[in-house]
Amino acid sequence: MKHSKTYNFFSEFGQITLGIILASIGLKAFLLPNGFMDGGVTGIALLVNRLIGVDISLLLVIFSLPF
């Protein structure tokens, strides 16, 4: 079945949005309360947050900008 470009755009947008929501739930529900570390940009943001206390959301934006 062939879909239009508009359908594909909104389908991909919905999937990306769902992935972001699930990742943020995992961060807020599991990693932060238990003190777990993660890999990648999120792990770097968690580590810097523990060391100097800067807000994680700000660190995620700053560390994600170069990519």
Structural domain of residue 13, as residue ranges?
A: 1-35
**Average pLDDT value for residue range 9-24:** 95
Same structural domain for residues 62 and 48?
yes
Same structural domain for residues 53 and 41?
yes
Q: How far, in Å, CA of 20 to CA of 14, rounded?
A: 10
DSSP state of 66: T
pLDDT score at 66:
84
Same structural domain for residues 20 and 43?
no
Polymer length of the chain? 67
Q: How far, in Å, CA of 48 to CA of 42, rounded?
A: 10
How much is the pTM? 0.73
Q: Per-residue pLDDT tens for 18-55?
A: 999 999 999 999 988 998 888 899 999 999 999 999 99
Q: How far, in Å, CA of 34 to CA of 11, rounded?
A: 34
State which H helix or E strand residue 9 sits in: helix 5-26
Q: Compare 2 and 42 and report the one with higher pLDDT.
A: 42
Same structural domain for residues 41 and 26?
no
Tokens representing 46 are 């968690």
